[in-house]
Amino acid sequence: MSDDVIRSDRLDLTVLTPKLLQLVLRGDAAELQRALGVHVPAGWCSGVPARRRLAQLADDRNEQPWLVRAVVHRDQQEVVGHIGFHAPPRGGRVEIGYEIMPGHQRKGYAIEAARALTGWAHGTGRAMICVACIRPDNTASLALAAALGFHRVGARNDAADGLELIHERTLPVA
């Protein structure tokens, strides 16, 4: 499986390179559409943590496969969300983050993308545990974590998001 595109049954998880992340920062959906070769819906750029990931890539380009990816529905040729890890594995642990666009939610894309991404991560031999930190009011993500077999192991106060419940599970996710 390529590091640039991870494929699942319906989805391609496509790495967002620094060039693409710059387009995201500018909110240039039309140019992103040309570069990715698929439809990029209005509003998608605003949810992608582009500035943070660009800073990480400026420090170490080798982190790219671990960071943010577009979730592309192959048959529809449309970006339906984004997914990635916050950083490469540290001590065998990775933290996942994702967002599926309104209008594409409740179609199984998040669970399919999470399984594909964590399967790839486990296949590298570098990731053994996946962490998901979720706000207590995010019922959809809490349900997804439960469906994927994550278990709550604690809580933390995140500077940006406030209280988050920490969930984790060993890989691979089946």
pLDDT of residue 173: 86
Which sequence spans correspond to the domains of the chain? 5-170
Q: Which stretch of DSSP H or E encloses residue 52? A: helix 50-59
Which pLDDT tens digits describe the chain residue by residue (174 residues)?
A: 457 999 999 999 999 999 999 999 999 999 999 999 999 998 999 999 999 999 999 999 999 999 999 999 999 999 999 999 999 999 999 999 999 999 999 999 999 999 999 999 999 999 999 999 999 999 999 999 999 999 999 999 988 889 999 999 999 987
Express each pLDDT in 22-55 by its tens digit. 999 999 999 999 999 999 998 999 999 999 999 9
**CATH number corresponding to 5-170:** 3.40.630.30
pLDDT of residue 52: 93
Question: Residue 117 and residue 157: Cα distance in Å, rounded?
Answer: 26
Prediction pTM value: 0.95
pLDDT of residue 114: 97
pLDDT of residue 3: 79
114 by Cβ neighbours in 10 Å (0-12 / 13-18 / 19+) ranks as buried
pLDDT of residue 1: 44
Task: Give SS3 for 134.
Answer: strand
Angle between helices 18-26 and 29-36 (to 10 degrees): 150
